[in-house]
Amino acid sequence: MNKTIKLVIVIAIVAIIAIGGALLVSQKGDLTKSQKQAVSGQPIKIGIIVYPGFAPFFIAEEKGYFEKEGVNAEVVIINDPVQAVSALAGNDVQMLFSSADFTAYISDAGVSIKEIFASDIGYGSDGLLVKNDVNSINDLKGKTVHLSMGTPSHFLLRYLTEQEGLKGGDINMIQMEADQVGVAFVAKKIDYGMSWEPWLSKASERDDGKVLFSSKDKPGIITDTFIVRSDILKSRRNDVKAVVRAWFDSIDFLEANPREANAIMAKNLGLPIEDFEAQVATVKFLDYSENLIKFDEKADLNLFTLTKEAVKIYKEDGIITKDIKAQDIVDSSVLKELYK
């Protein structure tokens, strides 16, 4: 694993643990910080990054679904995942975007969380760019693949290659951000790399380039989710459930009014609607019934299975160090109680 990414992860985890320690000191007294928030009626803050799969929460804000469900909630845009984990650890946000693989990273950092619903699945959002000497996953053995370590792209690559019998050591993985991978691939500076749109569509701009696979070929491996701090779920359970109901209200609105919904989401993410619609086409939002399936341990690519695989892969690749148990993270109880 690249030394730079190892250093970044170590620094992030140390910082998070330090924040956690400070919180323990500051929370001594009659009420914890989360309990004080519940008593004061402070908003539940929902951290998201600029990504279409998380944008329906902006519909909830604009259409008044939080108020309809009786909860004080606020959507906060966060610049990057490391900053997001720090914000969650410090209780600056109480709910946060995640994914089946990212929950393992957060838990490894020492933050107690519960994964309570799935927002969407990747449907072409991430894929592998290759030159035309690679025609199957097995052809990747011995090749150097550039990718952003510890991200859904990393998980997708390793999950699919393991299904074909390749281990982590069979592929030389080099740290590079997804956009940089796309630029370098089209310029013929690298030959293999995990990226996303618009670079997957641009692969053909290279005369010997193509997409070997994307998340559309096996939808559900990349499953985007939302997590909540365990203490907040305990102290503000009804508020958390109201936030989740507001999410599904937004999904219903999106299905009934796609153009207006896309305009709301694009505006709040600071994107032209044409760009947003091109990006949102690479994700599939999950409704309530589809969420119940994702939390069913007997279902294909359910969150328990995906989390177990992520822990296994990320431990092998040096992203995490702890033995994280899926049952300690994945929590279907909120969904099951949602409309009772």
pLDDT at 126 over 50: yes
Query: Lowest mean pLDDT: which of 18-32, 111-125, 206-220?
Result: 18-32
pLDDT class of 110 with cuts at 50, 70, 90: very high
pTM (predicted TM-score):
0.86
Domain boundary among 214, 231, 247: 214
pLDDT class of 81 with cuts at 50, 70, 90: confident
Mean pLDDT confidence for 304-319: 96
Measured distance CA(85)–CA(320) in Å, rounded: 14
More confident: 331 or 168: 331
In this structure, what CATH number is given to the domain that contains residue 142? Answer: 3.40.190.10
Q: Which residues pair with 194 in a beta bridge?
A: 128
Domain boundary among 182, 214, 246: 214
CB atoms within 10 A of CB 24: 10
**pLDDT at res. 20:** 41
pLDDT at 18 over 70: no
Domain boundary among 150, 181, 214: 214
Amino acid at 132: N
Mean pLDDT confidence for 197-224: 94
Mean pLDDT confidence for 223-233: 98
pLDDT at 299 over 90: yes
Q: Which domain holds residue 308?
A: 3-122+222-337
pLDDT at 38 over 80: no
Task: Indicate if 60 and 178 belong to the same structural domain.
Answer: no
**pLDDT at res. 32:** 52
**Backbone angles phi and psi of 70, in degrees to 5:** 75, 35
